[in-house]
Chains A and B, each alone.
Chain A
Amino acid sequence: MSDAAHAHDDHGHHAHPTGIMRWLTTTNHKDIGSLYLWFSLIMLFTAGSMALLIRSELFEPGMQLMHPDFFNQLTTMHGLIMIFGVIMPAFTGFANWQVPLMIGAPDMAFPRMNNWSFWLLPVAGIMLLGSFWLPGGAVAGGWTMYPPLFIQGGVSYDLTILAVHIMGLSSIMGSINIITTILNMRAPGLTLMKMPMFVWTWLITAYLLIATMPVLAGAVTMLLTDRNFGTHFFNAAGGGDPVMFQHIFWFFGHPEVYILILPAFGIVSQIIPTFSRKPLFGYASMVYATASIAILSFTVWAHHMFAVGMPVAAQLFFMFSTMLIAVPTGVKVFNWVATMWKGSLTFETPMLFAIAFVCLFTIGGFSGLVLAMAPVDIQLQDTYYVVAHFHYVLVSGALFSIFAGIYYWLPKWTGHMYNETLGKTHFWLSVIGMNIVFFPMHFLGLAGMPRRIPDYALQFTEFNQIATVGAFIFGFSQLIFLVLVLKTIKGGAKASDQVWEGAQGLEWTVPSPAPYHTFETAPVVK
């Protein structure tokens, strides 16, 4: 066994293609993880620039900078890219890097499929971004792709549907890989209930992806045939029903929002115990809470559509099932706080982002509970209150956990410590900027400002100007992050193998930087 591994190692060193071919043909989980993360970072700056254009237009009432249709294109593409091009690939990047390292596997289960999963993404990204230059511009019908608007648009709508197909295929292949790796390639002795929380949350997320991505693919296929092949799934003129699209879309869409947050729970559950120097409080309840959230997520979809005209019984069902999700989520928040309780805490950048995550994600969770109430939601539907809510869970939730994870594992990946001063500057500017952008949006929404509109009534001016100033602080402070990552890759203080004093787990037993091939002989977990 060890001879074979050694021979393979030698062979591996000689067979590496170099330059661009190394990255195009790579089947190494660490290479592919890095590709996912770089793709995600590039898309973050792309879609983030769109957000700054949106905020610039909204700095004052009236139309200043752009045509309203271009504004709609920006909001639609910002949403699609941030979800499918930033948050999801970043988490998949973490999974590629960390899952094999954390379970003691030499690589992912299907390395060649892994290569495909990644390289489909830039294709989809080019199709999405390229549609800006097509006649009629990019899609402007909102990221939720509701008919009838989405049936009526130009050729870029077809291109976007195909891009969603490709991204869905990429996610499904990635998820199959992750599940197979976790179920079949754990180190001897590493039972399911001994797995790190990050691995658990990704296992559950991958199941969610496999269950819901094909449903989205079905829904957009129906849109495509309605547009091009004369079917009438959603076309009311032919007897179809546009409301049915909303049901099918949100049957995917609600599990999707947990796909965007469960890996974040996993990352935070790794970081908080490390910097509290205590094991995670309530490990088993964390696992069951994550599974409960995933199962409940299939029973709540119509809370996105309280305003379409549902019977009262259905409104009550979806309202109460939505509120039920607060219970397992509350268990998780409680466990994080209990982990910190009486721990010997230190506040390095990963921990700062993790604590900000716990506080700010909880604010987003509470505004979600407000929106879950059907009578309140009918008032707040499609206002800035909704925008504030989902940016609290996706920016200070998902994105902050990604930053936390990068700071946490970057020394292991590069072999260098990052610059703590730069990291803390990035953290404070981000957390302050983020709250300046999104907190006033609660007030705007309660006062009735509708979302997805490039113009607004005069009384909303002050809060919008505050939000725009915050957006520029938040947006430009991300350049600090880029500089920090580049500097850390190039050099810096040498990181030890364990990196963090309180860090536990298999990934900290390999050298820093993690060698190209790890765990070719499986470690034994006691």
Chain B
Amino acid sequence: MIAGKTNTLTKLIVVALGMFGFGFALVPFYYKICEVTGINSGDEQSLVKNTQVDTSRWVTIEFDANTNEGLPWQFRTTQRSIKVHPGQLVQVEYEAANNSDHAIVGQAVPSYGPARAGAFFKKIECFCFTPQKLAAGERRQMPVLFVLDPSMDKDLHTVTLSYTFFNTNPKAQTATLPEKVPHG
């Protein structure tokens, strides 16, 4: 009977210690389950998906820069074209200069050629996201950070990214601002 008791005691202590270890084993187990099932890992966000580079094909991207006639800025690309793999993270620069004698706020609007390529053009950072204010005579380099979605149509070999800068206040170019009437 004493031997039986000691035997049971030993077994139960082993179970208790094993379960203490199991508590810690749940930590890698949890992360593995999340990884395998894709829960909780941020995979759903397009960002991670787009970094899967498709090295089997090249796409030529051409850059184009225009200004609307109402904006006295000089706006150009620093490169005319670039060859990239879909999924590759790419950074290019545009340059804008304000040739007028006063500060102007401009807003760039992108367009794509062919238009259907736009759906696969994932911009992560772009000067076109916000209005840009340039002081008189100021010159500024502005980045665009993007990836082409690897699921992009296979027949697209050349894509053109074109920006046109507009003056956010077309009238302000010639008209002077009305003076504020003081309250009274």
Please give the residue numbers on chain A whose beta carbons come within 8 Å of chain B beta carbons, in ascending order.
109-110, 172, 175-176, 179-180, 183-185, 210-219, 221-222, 233, 241, 243-244, 247-248, 251, 310-311
Can you sample 26 A-B contacts with CB below 8 Å? A109-B8, A176-B13, A180-B5, A180-B8, A180-B9, A184-B5, A185-B1, A185-B5, A210-B12, A210-B15, A214-B19, A214-B22, A214-B23, A215-B19, A215-B20, A215-B23, A217-B20, A218-B23, A219-B23, A241-B30, A241-B31, A244-B26, A244-B27, A248-B23, A251-B26, A310-B39
* A218 in complex: contacting residue of B4, B8, B20, B39, CB < 8 Å: B20
The CA-CA distance from A244 to B24 in the complex, in Å, is 11
A215 touches B12 (CB 8 A): no
Of all chain A residues, which has the CB nearest B25?
A218
The CA-CA distance from A243 to B12 in the complex, in Å, is 30
Of all chain B residues, which has the CB nearest A252?
B23
B37 touches A311 (CB 8 A): yes
The CA-CA distance from A195 to B168 in the complex, in Å, is 87
* B40 in complex: contacting residue of A183, A217, A222, A241, CB < 8 Å: A241
* B16 in complex: contacting residue of A180, A214, A244, A310, CB < 8 Å: A214
* B12 in complex: contacting residue of A179, A185, A221, A251, CB < 8 Å: A179
B23 touches A172 (CB 8 A): no
Residues on B with C-beta less than 8 A from A183 are 4, 8
Residues on B with C-beta less than 8 A from A233 are 27
Q: Is B17 positioned at the interface, with any CB of A under 8 Å from its CB? A: yes
Of all chain A residues, which has the CB nearest B38?
A311
A184 touches B20 (CB 8 A): no
Of all chain B residues, which has the CB nearest A234?
B27
Residues on A with C-beta less than 8 A from B12 are 175-176, 179-180, 210
The CA-CA distance from A233 to B31 in the complex, in Å, is 11
* A243 in complex: contacting residue of B13, B19, B40, CB < 8 Å: B40
Of all chain B residues, which has the CB nearest A248?
B26
B23 touches A176 (CB 8 A): no
The CA-CA distance from A251 to B23 in the complex, in Å, is 9
* B5 in complex: contacting residue of A110, A175, A247, A248, CB < 8 Å: A110
Interface centre among A215, A219, A221, A233 (most CB of B within 10 A): A215
The CA-CA distance from A217 to B8 in the complex, in Å, is 22
Of all chain A residues, which has the CB nearest B18?
A214
Chain B 28-48 near chain A by CB (<8 Å), digits 1 or 0: 001100000101100000000
Residues on B with C-beta less than 8 A from A210 are 12, 15-16, 19
Residues on B with C-beta less than 8 A from A244 are 26-27, 30
A247 touches B15 (CB 8 A): no
